[in-house]
Each structure stands twice: as structure tokens, then as C-alpha cells.
Structure 1
Amino acid sequence: MKGIHLRIYTYENSRHAGKPLYEWLLEAAKAQGIPGGSVFRAMAGYGRHGVLHEERFFELAGSEPVLVEFITAPEQADALLEHLQQEGVQAFYARIEADFGVIAPA
């Protein structure tokens, strides 16, 4: 199948509507009918401002990079991005064409 790999980059401590942004993004995508999504926490990373964010043993509140990603139909990816724009979410994203499917025993 052809579709879109939508990747949204944020930080662990980013919040929207009173909850962690990554959690809000998963709920918003599910409400829009996107069939699945995943969140990955990075060990370290930096963004457009060049500030290095990395996990340290003594830090309690994480500013580590978080990746939220979905693989879905182009229309669903566009609708989610439009929804994020309307909600005032500020995050970097990548919209990548993808071939996807399910591998199953014959």
C-alpha cells in the first residue's frame, strides 16, 4: 500500500491541553481515525537552535527529544496536520511517502 509516514518531533516535557504533547498527539490521531501510532524517546538530540538535549542521571523532568509517528493514508496525515495547526500545536514534522503492508505467514 502507498501512504504517508508522518513523524512529529517534540520534547518529553512539552505539554498541550494539560497533558504531555506526545499523549495528546496519539489521542488526536486516534480520534481522526488514524489506525495506529508510536512514541519513541531519544537518548539525546538537538533541534534548530542547536541546544543539545540529553538524559542525565540526576534530571527528573526530561527535556529529551520525543518522536511521535504514524503511517497512514495521505488524507488522514493532511487532516491531522491541519488539526494540529488549528489547535496551535508547535512542533517540527516530516511527511514522507511510504510503502507499507503486513507480513504474514503464507
Structure 2
Amino acid sequence: MTVFKEAGQLLRIFIGEANRHGRMPLYEWIVQQARSQGMAGATVLRGIQGFGANSLIHTTKILRLSEDLPVVVEIVDTEEKIEAFLKTVDPAITEGLVTVEKARVRMYRAGGNRKARS
């Protein structure tokens, strides 16, 4: 389990919904890797519009492009764990943007005795 003393890092991975790792969506693979490496947690956010390095607009407004909407995977953990995790996922991210920012963790709490869902 990750122990924070306020200093942490926020990892953001900006990819497309259609990006894959093998047969699996890349965002799903990234979350599975984060869980298996004991990261503090991961959240996937699906955008309604965006563009990347190729300047192609992806939006829910155009039916044919709505299949590749922007996706952001966010993970907050210690600097050491983020750096180690990046070594795992770097080869799988063939297009997209990855940022790392300082994060000041004010609280990190787990709920009651909830069972993990697979």
C-alpha cells in the first residue's frame, strides 16, 4: 500500500479510445498494470472532444469519429512508483501524450471492507 506524506505525483496519459494493447483497449491494460504494480489507484476519463499531435478533431458530434474519443488515465502515487510504472507502460504507448506533475496529497482513504471487483 502506498503511504503519502503529502508529496506525490500525478501521472496523466492522454490516448485515444481506439488505442489497443493486443486485443485489449490500451486504457484498460494500463489500469490493469497499475493495479498489478500496487499503484495507489487509477481513473480513466473519457473526453467528449479533443485533438492531438495530428490535429484531427475527435468528438461525439461526428458519428464516424465518436469511436476514437480522447481518453485520459490519471494515477497519483509517489515519485518512485510513478517512474517505475512509466518504464512498464512506455513501450505500449505508441501515440499520445504523457505528463507528470507534482501533487500535494491532502488525504488518501479507503472505504470500509468492500470487496474488489474483477
TM-score normalised by L of structure 1? 0.87
**1:79 corresponding residue in structure 2:** 84
Tell me what 2:52 maps to: 47
Give the Å deviation of 1:84.
Answer: 1.3
Matched position secondary structure for 1:35: coil
Deviations 1:43-62 (A, max 9, x none): 10010111111113644861
- The answer (yes or no) to whether the contact 2:58–2:66 under 8 Å persists in 1 is no
**Distance (Å, rounded) in 2 between the aligned partners of 1:9 and 1:63:** 12
Q: Which runs of 4+ in 1 moved over 3 A?
A: 56-61
Q: Tell me how many residue pairs correspond in the alignment.
A: 103
RMSD, aligned α-carbons: 2.0
Give the gaps of 5 or more residues in structure 2.
1-5, 110-118
Contact 1:10 1:65 in 2 (8 A): yes
Following the alignment from structure 2 to structure 1, what is the Cα–Cα distance between the partners of residues 106 and 38?
18
How far apart in 2 are the matches of 1:88 and 1:58? 28
Q: Which residue of 1 aligns with 2:38?
A: 33
Matches within 5 A, 1:2-41: 2-41=7-46
Code of the residue aligned with 1:2 in structure 2: it is: A
Partner Cα separation in structure 1 for residue 92 and residue 76 of structure 2: 23
- SS of structure 2 residue aligned to 1:76: helix
Instruction: State the TM-score, normalizing by the size of structure 2.
Output: 0.78
